[in-house]
């Protein structure tokens, strides 16, 4: 099966990264570069152990990786594709709390149950760790623990930023912030381009920003009409960054 590659756009040459477990940036045969990985320096014996407890897995779009309130049996590192994380209300209302891109960890909260559901938006490749093995591996490595903790802290910061967005920003500000944020995230994993890939549906974007599909669509077309963006297949080209930053600034 061919894996959809969100990195391919305008970055074909440099996009050949396939770190299997996302935990190292050096010493690992499989790893090229992963700037935002959890641990920047693991030694060879540790890496071998890591390889033993990790398991690469590829799944097609719309696959559920784990479900909210299920027993948290695995920790995942996304290596290819996009995953949506969401919570649902009994009546079907949905809030996407984040999109995981290559390099992101899932289930790191280290609680006994998952707090969200994780679904592949595109075809996805992940590296799976059995939780007990992962915990055992991590437990006597303070530098790794520290790093994981910082990672969690960063996640929390992002969540708080998203609360500000959901609670206090207008539709246009939400869209602008979302586009700029996606561009920044793709840039970090190697896709530097004014064209931001948007592999998720309008419904996903709406459920992430606390809007409806119609409002997302209208706001995007308005931004396009005003020459702030250009809507292209599966993405958006950012034209007037100043205009967007004006709306989306933190």
Partner DNA sequence: TGAGGGCATTGATTTGCATCAATGCCGGGG
Partner DNA sequence: CCCCGGCATTGATGCAAATCAATGCCCTCA
Nearer to a copy of itself, 74 or 162 (CB): 162
How far apart CA 240 and CA 230 sit, in angstroms, is 10
Q: How far is the CB of 58 from DNA (least distance, A)?
A: 19
Task: State the burial class of residue 153 (Cβ atoms within 10 Å of its Cβ: 0-12, 13-18, 19+).
Answer: exposed
Q: Which of residues 190-229 bind DNA (CB under 7 A)?
A: 201-203, 210-218, 220-221
Question: Can you give the length of the chain in residues?
Answer: 250
Q: Which of residues 157-196 bind DNA (CB under 7 A)?
A: 170-172
**Torsion angles phi and psi, residue 55, rounded to 5:** -150, 115
Name which of a copy of itself, DNA, none residue 140 binds, using a CB cut-off of 5 to 8 Å depending on partner kind: a copy of itself
Owner of token pair 């020459």: 227
How far apart CA 179 and CA 23 sit, in angstroms, is 28
Q: Which of residues 158-177 bind a copy of itself (CB under 8 A)?
A: 159-164, 166-169
Q: How many CB atoms lie within 10 A of CB 105?
A: 21
Nearer to DNA, 34 or 174 (CB): 174
Nearer to DNA, 69 or 203 (CB): 203
Q: How far is the CB of 111 from a copy of itself (least distance, A)?
A: 5
Check binding of 154 to a copy of itself (CB under 8 A): yes
Question: DSSP character for 2?
Answer: P
**Among 174, 149, 147, CA closest to 161:** 174
Name which of a copy of itself, DNA, none residue 161 binds, using a CB cut-off of 5 to 8 Å depending on partner kind: a copy of itself
For residue 82 the two structure tokens come to 């996009």
The mark string for 119-138 relative to DNA (x by CB under 7 A, - otherwise) is --------------------
How far apart CA 94 and CA 92 sit, in angstroms, is 6
Check binding of 212 to a copy of itself (CB under 8 A): no
Q: How far is the CB of 94 from DNA (least distance, A)?
A: 12
How far apart CA 206 and CA 115 sit, in angstroms, is 21
- Residue 31 CA, chain-centre distance (Å), reads 19
Q: How many CB atoms lie within 10 A of CB 45?
A: 8
Positions touching DNA (CB under 7 A) are 170-172, 201-203, 210-218, 220-221, 231
Positions touching a copy of itself (CB under 8 A) are 87, 89-90, 93-95, 97, 108-111, 115-116, 139-140, 142, 145-146, 148-150, 152-157, 159-164, 166-169, 207, 209-210, 249-250
């Amino acid at each position: 099966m061919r894996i959809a590659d969100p990195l391919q756009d305008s970055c074909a040459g440099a996009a050949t990264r396939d770190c299997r477990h996302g935990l190292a940036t050096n010493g690992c045969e499989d790893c090229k570069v992963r700037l935002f990985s959890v641990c920047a320096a693991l030694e060879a014996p540790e890496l071998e152990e890591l390889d033993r407890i990790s398991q690469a897995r590829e799944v097609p779009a719309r696959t559920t990786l784990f479900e909210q309130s299920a027993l948290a049996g695995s920790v995942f590192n996304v290596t290819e594709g996009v995953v949506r994380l969401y919570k649902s209300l009994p009546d079907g209302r949905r809030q996407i709390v984040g999109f995981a891109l290559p390099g992101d960890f899932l289930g790191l909260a280290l609680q006994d149950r998952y707090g969200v559901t994780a679904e592949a938006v595109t075809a996805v490749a992940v590296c799976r760790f059995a939780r007990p093995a992962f915990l055992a591996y991590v437990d006597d490595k303070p530098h790794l623990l520290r790093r994981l903790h910082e990672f969690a802290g960063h996640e929390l910061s992002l969540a708080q930023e998203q609360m500000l967005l959901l609670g206090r920003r207008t539709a246009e500000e939400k869209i602008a912030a979302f586009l700029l944020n996606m561009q920044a995230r793709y840039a970090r994993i190697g896709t530097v381009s004014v064209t931001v890939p948007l592999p998720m549906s309008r419904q996903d974007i709406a459920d992430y920003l606390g809007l409806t599909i119609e409002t997302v669509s209208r706001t995007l077309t308005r931004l396009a009409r005003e020459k702030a963006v250009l809507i292209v297949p599966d993405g958006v080209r950012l034209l007037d960054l100043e205009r967007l930053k004006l709306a989306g600034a933190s």
